[in-house]
Chain A
Amino acid sequence: MRRADPALWLLRAVVALFILFMLAPILVVVALSFTSAGYVVFPLPGLSLRWFARMLDYAPFLQGLRVSLQVALGATLLSVLLGVPASLALARSHHPAALAAMTFLLSPLSMPMIVFGFAALFFLSRIGLGLSLPALLVAHGCVCLPYVVRVTAAAYRGLPPALEEAAEVLGASRAAVLRHVVLPLLRPAIAAGSLFSFLVSFDNLPLSFFFGSPGTNTLPVVMLSYVEQQFDPAIAAISTAQLAVAVLLLVLADRFYGLGRLVGQEGGG
C-alpha cells in the first residue's frame, strides 16, 4: 500500500546511522581484543589470544577484579537487605510522606557521582573508615540501593493485593504472607534489581576513584590508570571479557527468572 516514501526512507537512514553509531565503538574494541599486534592497527594483522593471556598475567588487573567482585557482591547484598523491606513498606502507599521517602531513596541516582565520591571519602575518613573495603562497600551501597528499590517497588505495585488478602483471610500471619506469598512472587524482581545493582557497582569509576589504594583499587580504577599510561589492546581484552560476563549473567538471569517479561512489560506493541 505504501509507496516509496521519502520521509520514511530518511527516518530509516537516521535509524541505521544510530545503530552504527551505538555499536561501532563497542564492536571495534571486541575485534581489537583478538589482535596479534602489539599496538592498535587495523586491519588486524592476525588473530591471537595473547591479550587475554596478558590480562591474566598482569597482577593489578586480578587484584582489582577481586576488589570489584567483593565490593559489588557486598554492596548488592546490603542494598537488598535494606531496599526490599523499604520497597514493600512504601510501594503501595499514596501518602505524601511515602512519596517523599521514595523520592529520597531514589535520589542518589540523580547526584553527580564525582561529588559523592569526594564527599564520601572525607566523611568516611573522619569516622575512621578511610581507604578501606568497608568504606567502599558503604559508598557503593548508597548508589546501588535505588536500583533495587526501583525494580522491587514497581513489581510489588503490580502484584494484586487480593493474593495477600486471601492468605490473611485463611489465617496466615503477616510474616507467613511475606514469606510464602509476597517474597516468592517478587523473586524475579529482586534478582533483576540485584543484577542491575551488581553491574552498576562493578562499573562504577567516579566513586571508587577516590578510594584509591593498593588494597582498594577496583578494576575500573586500575583500567583507568592503565589507559592513562599506555594505549595497547590489553584494555580491549579485559573490556571484552567483562562484556561477555555481563551478557552471560543477563542470559542466565533471563533463563532462570524470566527477566524478559520484567523488562518487556513497558514494551507494549
Chain B
Amino acid sequence: MRRLLPLAPALLFLAGFFVLPMLDIVGRSITAADGSLTLARYALLFGDAFYLRAMAETLALSAGVTLLCVLAGYPVAYYLVRHAGRWRGVILFTLVAPLLTSIIMRTFGWQVLFARRGPVNLLLEGLGLVEAPIRFTGSLGIAIAALVHVLLPFMVLSITPVLQSIDRRLEEAAAILGAGRFRAFLEVTLPLSWEGILTGCILVFMVANGSFVTLLLLGGGLQTLPLLIYQQFNTTRDFGMVSAMSTVLLLLALACLALQLRLVRKGG
C-alpha cells in the first residue's frame, strides 16, 4: 500500500489521458453514425485498392528506411566501438547534435541543400556535371534521405552497446583457428551483434511507421497512413475513417512494442 501511493498518480494520469483516448479512437472506428457497431471501415481499409496501397506503401517505406539505417548504421557503430580513438567525440557529437534540432529545421535543411540554387546544384554546376540546375523538389530519394537522417542515430545507438559487450577474445580465437579477418567478422562478430541490430530495427521501423512531417514537407509521391490521417483530418473530416487508420497504426506499434519486450526479456 505504501508502495502504491507514490505510483498511483502517474498510473492514473496515463490511464486517464493516454489509454482512454486511444481506446476511444478504437471504439469510434467500429461505431457507425447511428451508434451501432460496424466493421465497414475496416472492410474499406482492407478491401479498397487505394487504402491497401497506402498501407503497403507505409510498410514498404518503413522497411526500406530500416534497411538503409542498418546498412549505414552498423559500420558507424563498429568504427565507434573498435577504431574511433580521438574521433570518438566527433562521432558522438554527430549522433547527438540532430536531437537538439527541430524536425522542421532538419526537413528544411534537406529542402535547402537540394534547392534550385542550393549547395548541391552549385556543386554539380561547378563540377560541370550539369548545365542547368536540377529540379529535385518532391523526389522520393530526398524524402528517404531525410527519414534516414532522423532515424540513423537511433540505429547506431542501439547497436553500439551490444558491439561493446562482445568479448574480443572470441575473434582472436577464430583467427588462431585459421579464420581470415573477414570470415571471423562474418561468423563471430556479426552473429553476436544480432540482438542490437534487431533492437535498432524494431525501434526505427516503429518510429518510421508514424512519421509524417518529413513526407508532408518533402513530398516523394507516397501516400502513407500518417499522411492520409493528416489529410483526411484536415479536408474530408471523415473521423470514422481517420479512427480506423489510427487503430491500424496503433496495433502495428503495439506489435513492435511486444517484439521489443520479448527481445529485452530474452537478453535478460
Interface residue ranges, A against B (CB under 8 Å): 7-8, 11-12, 14-15, 18-19, 21-26, 28-29, 32, 40-43, 81-83, 85-86, 88-90, 93, 101, 103-105, 107-108, 110-116, 118-120, 122-124, 126, 138-139, 141-142, 145, 149, 199, 203, 205-206, 209-210, 220, 223-224, 227-228, 231, 235-236, 239-240, 242-243, 246-247, 250, 266-269
B76 A14 Cβ-Cβ under 8 A? yes
Q: Is the CB of B18 within 8 A of A142?
A: yes
A-B contact count, CB below 8 Å? 237
Chain B interface size, under 10 / 10 to 19 / 20 to 34 / 35 or more: 35 or more
Expressed in whole angstroms, the Cα–Cα distance for A90 and B119 within the complex equals 51
Separation of A62 and B263 alpha carbons in the complex (Å): 45
Chain B residues with Cβ below 8 Å from A43 are 122
Q: A86-B10, A228-B217 are in contact. Are A138 and B122 (CB under 8 A)?
A: no
Question: Is B101 interfacial (CB-CB < 8 Å)?
Answer: yes
The 3 A-B residue pairs with the shortest CB-CB distance, nearest first, are A112-B210, A25-B109, A85-B6
- Check if B21 is an interface residue, CB within 8 A of chain A: yes
Interface residues of B in 31-86 (CB under 8 A from A): 72, 75-76, 78-79, 81, 83
Min distance, Cβ B214 to any Cβ of chain A, angstroms: 11
What are 5 A-B pairs at a CB distance below 8 A?
A21-B72, A29-B112, A101-B11, A123-B24, A243-B102
User: Would A239 and B102 be within 8 Å (CB), given that A19-B94, A26-B109 are in contact?
Assistant: yes
For B111-155 the 0/1 string (1 means CB < 8 A from A) is: 111010111001000000000000000000000011001001100
In this assembly, does B194 line the interface, its C-beta being within 8 Å of a C-beta of chain A?
Answer: no
The DSSP consensus for interface residues of chain A is: helix
The answer to whether A19 touches B6 (Cβ under 8 A) is no
- Whether a CB of chain A sits under 8 angstroms from the CB of B221 is no
Take A8-B83, A40-B117 as given contacts and tell me if A19 and B109 are in contact as well, using a CB distance cutoff of 8 Å. Answer: no
Query: Contact between A111 and B250 (Cβ–Cβ < 8 Å)?
Result: yes
Known contacts A82-B9, A86-B10, A89-B3; is-contact A118 B242 (Cβ 8 Å): yes
A114 to B97, CA, bound (A): 24
Are A235 and B260 closer than 8 Å at their CB atoms? no
Once the chains bind, are A41 and B25 in contact (CB under 8 Å)?
no
Among A40, A82, A246, which residue has its beta carbon within 8 angstroms of that of B13?
A82
Q: Which residues of A contact B4 (CB under 8 A)?
A: 89
Partner of A122, one of B10, B24, B115: B24
- Contact yes or no, B164 A235, CB < 8 A: no
Which one of A23, A110, A126 contacts B257 once the chains associate, using CB atoms below 8 Å? A110
Asked if B102 and A22 make an inter-chain contact with CB atoms under 8 angstroms apart, the answer reads no
Within 8 A of A (CB), among B240-262: 242-243, 246, 249-250, 253, 256-257, 260-261
- What is the distance, in angstroms, from A72's C-beta to the closest C-beta of chain B? 12
Q: How far is the CA of A83 from the CA of B118 in the complex (A)?
A: 45
- Within the complex, the shortest CB–CB distance from A41 to chain B, in Å, comes to 4
Residues of chain B contacted by A240 (CB below 8 angstroms): 105
Residues of B within 8 A of A268 (CB): 164
Measured CB to CB, the closest approach of chain B to A106, in angstroms, equals: 9
Give the residue of A21, A149, A224, A236 whose beta carbon is less than 8 angstroms from that of B149: A21
B62: shortest Cβ distance to chain A, in Å? 11
> Given the known A-B contacts A11-B83, A223-B102, are A18 and B14 also in contact in the complex, defined by CB atoms under 8 Å?
no
Residues of A within 8 A of B94 (CB): 18-19, 22-23
**Closest B residue, CB atoms, query A110:** B257
Q: Is B159 an interface residue (CB 8 A)?
A: no
Bound complex: CA of A148 vs CA of B257, how far in Å? 20
Contact A11 B217 (CB under 8 A): no
- Known pairs A42-B118, A220-B104; A115 contacts B112 (CB<8 A): no
Contact: B98 with A22, CB < 8 Å?
yes
B200 adjacent to chain A (CB < 8 Å):
no
B186 interface residue per 8 A CB criterion: no
